[in-house]
Amino acid sequence: MHKYTRAIGFGEEISGSMIRKVEEEVRTEFTSHERRILDESTDYCEFRKIIGERLELALYGMEDLDENFEKEYSIPVFQGKGITTYADVIVEKKIDKEAYVGICEDARVDISLMFYLQNPMEYVRELQSGNLGKKKTSVTLSALACEGTVLLPVTKNEKDKKEQREEFRNRMMLVSAARKGDSEAIETLTLKDMDTYQKVSKRVVTEDIFSIIDTYFMPYGVECDLYSIMGEILDMDLVINEVTREKIMVLTLDANEMIFDLCIPKTKIFGEPAVGRRFKANIWLQGKINFS
């Protein structure tokens, strides 16, 4: 069982036999199904079943002419809303299985964002048609978390908020210029980072680190699509896993001015979530490429 299957309501107490039963239901009572030809006798198949609002379980594997299915892997899927970024995306296939990772450069997070691609069959279809480079694309990101913590917001007045927004946008412009090879922008960013490091080093002696850092988005662990994040809660909703009846909290977060949705079991949230408070968790980042 995929670790983050717990994030959509299949907790640690769910047995392996139950997961296998659910996977069989995904294959036989699917909500959506796609396939592509591998050779004369074999198709590669994707089966999906909706198990709650915006929650899905996806099953991948090969099927022969006699409809004998051999499972390759299954994953939980949480569908995001809206558009997270219009940054250009590079897609790479994983070595060990028929799965894909999207990579985009978004100046808001200062790093190359890597995410599990939610619509691999659509991507391969667009790639094989030869129309991939002709279409404008955007990305809708979403996140799955097995547990997380609610933190109180950092107190800021309107002047502080305005200055923070201006400073953030100036940094985005510098990062964009630096990525294009602007030596002056690279030098300015280096000096600003050194200045920030000195200020934080002094403050952290007497203050809690989370009273200094408002939000963050940074890699976590050795997997390329795992991140540690902290963001402001903009909206929240409650959905139900129709199989286990577990309550799943859906949070809309703003981390480094990048807005995306996150799902997490309600019982695995430490603290009381509310709009305006912050949320901290380790996440598995997913994304859907929207082909226009």
Residue 182 is predicted with a pLDDT of 77
pLDDT at site 177: 74
Dist CA 142 CA 252 (whole Å) = 9
For 27, residues 6+ apart whose C-beta sits below 8 A from its C-beta are: 47, 59, 69
* DSSP track, 76-119: EEE---S--B---EEEEE-SSSS-EEEEEE-TTTSSEEEEEES-
* Number of other CB atoms surrounding residue 192 within 10 Å: 14
Three-state SS at 10: coil
Residue of 38, 41, 111 whose CA lies nearest to 285: 111
271: left (phi over 0), alpha (psi -120 to 50) or beta: left
Q: How far apart are CA 148 and CA 146, in angstroms?
A: 7
Contact 244, 11 (CB under 8 A): yes
Using alpha carbons, list the distances in angstroms from residue 210 to 55, 153, 158, 249. Answer: 31, 9, 20, 23
Rounded to an integer, what is the distance from CA 31 to the centroid of its chain?
23
Return the H-helix or E-strand segment holding 203.
helix 183-203
Q: What is the pTM of this model?
A: 0.86
Backbone angles phi, psi at 281, to 5 degrees: -165, 165
| pLDDT by position in tens, the chain (length 292) | 688 999 999 987 777 778 888 889 999 999 999 998 888 889 999 999 999 999 999 999 999 888 889 999 999 999 999 999 888 899 999 988 889 999 998 877 777 899 999 999 999 988 888 777 777 889 999 999 999 999 988 877 677 667 667 776 776 677 777 767 778 877 877 777 787 777 777 777 777 777 778 888 999 888 889 999 999 999 999 999 999 999 999 999 999 888 999 999 999 999 999 999 999 999 999 999 998 7
